[in-house]
């Protein structure tokens, strides 16, 4: 009961924030009814996916302050569980998704236990290493299709809600929107939970947290598992949405970093941060990419701009957009 | 029985092949490892002095490779003679990055440093993609290219690899001399041991940091200049070397120069070892013909080693920084 009440408790945000959030939600709800291009729809679905990725990353990277650059391996586990089960045994999405999440979380405990003996840079690089090892294994593993990946079988009758196969994108959009809202409420509850407070204590000062009786190692592992469940869920969805997965697009370092980047750009460790980050980066990425990618000699310019923005944020305001908002508010309150 | 006779002979042949594979792996591993050590040297200097992990390290290498590749035909000299130019380009790049970016990142939390250098990596890689295109390129003309020495039956040493190993060792010695024997180098060591104490002694942290980036950039760019003689360069070549450098530095101990040399050679041997294992597999008679080779995992071992060392011996072989 307490947990459910916490999930709906947004009272620590000013009314302005809730107004903006409400307007954004209303826009999301009616978006498919508005006139839009299919490119805009794809971008919107990407936005929801990356918001969820970022929310997951935020538990370990934001609230607990452990920079994790290996989330893509869990995206891959989720995506491959769904794809392999659908290709080989005809298992519906709604069965394989929880199984994929379970597998990913189980793997995250195995990896997390030794991983969280490390801190700071060492931790970050080790997460990259684990992710790359898994990707290398998947690239030669014939059971999951090797480097070519897997193609999901098309089923006859669309729309198919069990196997998540639709001709129109708005079905995907609404299913993802439900996941998004559920994910947001869960994170809001998580924020108020005992674990949430423990993680923030760990982020501020690990030694003090330990002296207060918090089991630092175990709290981090739990937060890591929560983050893993999020990305594995979206990974499963990604497999159904794309109809085709391969190690390069589900497990690459670029994806890991992109996930972390969304959260950091918006503001790591805040509820809205990952959503703000995704709402800026995803449209920028897809529109810049399609606009510049088509022009000869400019391939790569979008990523140059991208890299420039990352450097700028890291140098000027590492707390992201949300950090800027907070700073402006604090200034206004003082005067 | 005639068939058993045949099997025995086949066994003898693969035994010979195994010995040859071991010998080849040791020689090739040593030469490759010396280059890896030089690549890792820059990373370990920078890390030792200011606790910053440079994700763009592999991109510095890539730029070093391109600068040798492009200046050699431009100046009309042999690629080996353009190494100082690569070094200068690397040093300038290091100093530029320090004053343009790293100085600001140092004020922020760890996450800002990680992302800042990651952004630098994306920036440099894709800038190279825009300018050079994605075609892999390699040095085609030079006094070393295409020449090789036959050392023994079946062992052929490429002149480029031999020169790369020897010159890496020379560059390594130069860097060590600079750090261990000159006054500037001692300031560098002092700052990495204790920043505050060094500051009280009148050592300017800012200048030492810039020097560390210059040295780091120069050494990795020279390694790139050596590498491009036998390793094709394209804009995405960096990540693999960044990871190899991380593994080397972790194995040798963060901040340890001697460690980088020993660990570089070890990693070189590990990367070159899989043919030996494949030969062993053939000797044992398993998996023959199934197409599965350990060879395709050769870099996976590097990542695995990084992970295992970090978890079980975070200070590495010779590390003093924790």
**Each residue's pLDDT tens digit in chain A (335 positions)?**
677 777 777 777 788 888 888 888 888 888 887 887 888 888 888 899 999 999 999 998 888 888 888 888 999 899 999 888 888 888 888 888 899 999 999 999 998 888 888 887 788 888 888 888 888 888 877 777 777 778 877 777 777 777 777 777 888 888 889 999 999 889 888 888 888 888 888 888 888 888 888 888 898 999 999 999 999 999 999 888 888 888 888 888 888 888 888 888 888 888 888 999 888 888 888 887 777 766 656 667 777 888 888 888 888 888 888 888 888 888 888 77
- For position A106, what pLDDT does the model report? 92
- For position B3, what pLDDT does the model report? 40
d(CA A74, CA A54): 13
Per-residue pLDDT for B287 more than 90?
no
Residues on chain A touching B244 (C-beta within 8 angstroms): none
Per-residue pLDDT for B95 more than 90?
yes
In this complex, the residue of A118, A121, A311 whose CB is nearest that of residue B123 is A311
CA distances A186 to A176, A181, A230, Å, are 15, 9, 10
What are residue A71's phi and psi, to 5 degrees? -70, -20
Task: Give the pLDDT confidence of B236-262 residue by residue, as tens digits.
Answer: 888 888 888 888 888 887 777 888 888
Residues on chain B touching A261 (C-beta within 8 angstroms): 115
- For position A51, what pLDDT does the model report? 92
Per-residue pLDDT for B292 more than 80?
no
Mutate to test the interface with A, among B112, B301, B319 (most CBs of A within 10 A): B112
Residues on chain A touching B112 (C-beta within 8 angstroms): 314-315, 318
- For position B152, what pLDDT does the model report? 62
Per-residue pLDDT for B290 more than 70?
no
Angle between helices A120-140 and A72-89 (to 10 degrees): 20
Q: Specify the DSSP element, H or E, that contains A150.
A: strand A150-151
- For position B110, what pLDDT does the model report? 77
Let me know: does A57 contact A265? Beta carbons within 8 Å. no
Q: What is the DSSP string of B149-213?
A: EEEETTEEEEHHHHHHHHHHHHHHHHHHHHHHHSHHHHHHHHHHH-HHHHHHTT--HHHHHHHHH
Domain edges within chain A: 2-334
Buried b (16+ CB within 10 A) or exposed e, A298-311: ebbbbbbbbbbbbb
**Global confidence as pTM:** 0.82
Q: Residue B157 pairs with which residues in a beta bridge?
A: B149
DSSP collapsed to 3 states, B118-159 = HHHHHHHHHHHHHHHCCCCECCCCCCCCCCEEEEECCEEEEH
Interface contact flag, A69 B114, Cβ < 8 Å: yes
What are residue A30's phi and psi, to 5 degrees? -95, -5
ipTM of the complex: 0.78
Domain edges within chain B: 21-312
CATH for the stretch A2-334: 1.10.3470
Let me know: does B72 contact A282? Beta carbons within 8 Å. no
Q: What is the DSSP string of A106-142?
A: HHHHHHHHHHTT--HHHHHHHHHHHHHHHHHHHHH-G
CATH for the stretch B21-312: 1.10.3470
Q: Which residues of B touch A (CB under 8 A)?
A: 51, 53, 101, 104-105, 108-116, 118-127, 129-130, 134, 235, 239, 243, 246-247, 250, 292, 296-297, 299-300, 303-304, 306-307, 310-311, 314
CA angle B19, B21, B25 (to 5 degrees): 120
A126: nearest CA partner in chain B? B307
In this complex, the residue of B108, B120, B134 whose CB is nearest that of residue A318 is B108
Mutate to test the interface with B, among A132, A251, A297, A317 (most CBs of B within 10 A): A132
Per-residue pLDDT for B4 more than 50?
no
Mutate to test the interface with B, among A62, A118, A129 (most CBs of B within 10 A): A129
Let me know: does B41 contact B257? Beta carbons within 8 Å. yes
Per-residue pLDDT for B320 more than 60?
no
Q: Residue A244 pairs with which residues in a beta bridge?
A: A151
Interface contact flag, B101 A311, Cβ < 8 Å: yes
């Amino acid at each position: 009961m307490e947990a459910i009440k916490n999930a709906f408790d947004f009272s620590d945000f000013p009314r302005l924030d809730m107004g903006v959030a409400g307007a954004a939600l209303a826009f999301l709800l009616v978006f498919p009814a508005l006139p839009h291009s299919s490119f805009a729809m794809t971008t919107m679905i990407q936005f929801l996916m990356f918001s969820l990725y970022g929310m997951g990353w935020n538990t370990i990277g934001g609230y607990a302050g452990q920079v994790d650059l290996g989330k893509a391996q869990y995206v891959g586990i989720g995506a491959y569980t769904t794809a392999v089960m659908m290709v080989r045994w005809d298992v519906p999405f709604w069965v394989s998704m929880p199984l994929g999440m379970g597998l990913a979380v189980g793997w995250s405990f195995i990896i997390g236990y030794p991983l969280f003996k490390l801190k700071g840079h060492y931790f970050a690089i080790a997460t990259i290493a684990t992710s790359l090892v898994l990707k290398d294994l998947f690239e030669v593993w014939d059971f999951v299709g090797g480097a070519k990946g897997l193609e999901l079988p098309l089923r006859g009758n669309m729309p198919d809600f069990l196997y998540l196969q639709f001709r129109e994108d708005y079905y995907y959009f609404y299913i993802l929107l439900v996941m998004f809202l559920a994910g947001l409420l869960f994170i809001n509850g998580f924020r108020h939970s005992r674990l949430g407070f423990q993680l923030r204590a760990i982020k501020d000062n690990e030694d003090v947290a330990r002296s207060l009786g918090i089991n630092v190692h175990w709290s981090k592992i739990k937060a890591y598992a929560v983050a893993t469940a999020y990305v594995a869920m979206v990974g499963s969805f990604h497999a159904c949405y794309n109809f085709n997965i391969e190690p390069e697009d589900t497990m690459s370092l670029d994806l890991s970093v992109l996930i972390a980047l969304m959260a950091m750009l918006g503001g790591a460790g805040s509820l809205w941060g990952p959503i703000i980050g995704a709402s800026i980066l995803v449209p920028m990425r897809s529109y810049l990419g399609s606009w510049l990618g088509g022009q000869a000699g400019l391939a790569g310019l979008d990523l140059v701009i991208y890299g420039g923005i990352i450097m700028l944020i890291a140098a000027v305001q590492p707390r992201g957009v949300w950090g800027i908002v907070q700073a402006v508010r604090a200034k206004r309150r003082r005067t | 029985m005639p068939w058993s006779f045949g099997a025995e002979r086949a066994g003898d042949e693969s035994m010979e092949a195994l010995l040859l594979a071991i010998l080849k792996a040791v020689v090739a591993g040593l030469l490759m490892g010396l280059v890896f050590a030089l690549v890792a040297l820059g990373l370990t200097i920078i890390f030792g002095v200011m606790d910053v992990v440079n994700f763009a390290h592999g991109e510095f290498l890539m730029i070093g490779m391109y600068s040798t590749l492009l200046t050699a035909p431009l100046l009309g000299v042999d690629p080996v003679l353009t190494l100082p130019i690569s070094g200068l380009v690397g040093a300038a790049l290091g100093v530029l990055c320090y004053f343009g970016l790293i100085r600001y990142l140092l004020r922020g939390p760890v996450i800002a440093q990680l992302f800042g250098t990651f952004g630098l990596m994306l920036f440099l890689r894709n800038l190279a993609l825009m300018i050079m295109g994605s075609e892999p390129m390699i040095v085609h003309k030079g006094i070393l290219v295409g020449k090789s020495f036959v050392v023994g039956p079946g062992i052929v040493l490429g002149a480029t690899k031999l020169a790369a190993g020897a010159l890496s060792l020379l560059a390594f010695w130069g860097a060590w001399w600079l750090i261990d024997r000159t006054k500037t180098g001692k300031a560098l060591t002092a700052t990495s041991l204790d920043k505050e104490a060094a500051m009280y002694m009148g050592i300017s942290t800012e200048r030492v940091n810039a020097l560390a980036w210059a040295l780091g950039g120069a050494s990795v760019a020279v390694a790139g200049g050596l590498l491009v003689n036998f390793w094709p360069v394209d804009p995405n070549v960096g990540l693999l070397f960044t990871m190899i450098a991380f593994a080397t530095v972790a194995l040798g101990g963060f901040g340890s120069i001697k460690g980088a040399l020993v660990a570089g050679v070890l990693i070189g041997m590990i990367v070159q070892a899989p043919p030996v294992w494949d030969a062993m597999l053939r000797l044992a008679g398993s998996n023959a013909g199934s197409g599965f080779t350990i060879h395709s995992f050769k870099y996976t071992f590097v990542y695995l080693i990084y992970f295992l060392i970090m978890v079980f011996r975070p200070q590495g072989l010779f590390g003093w920084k924790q």
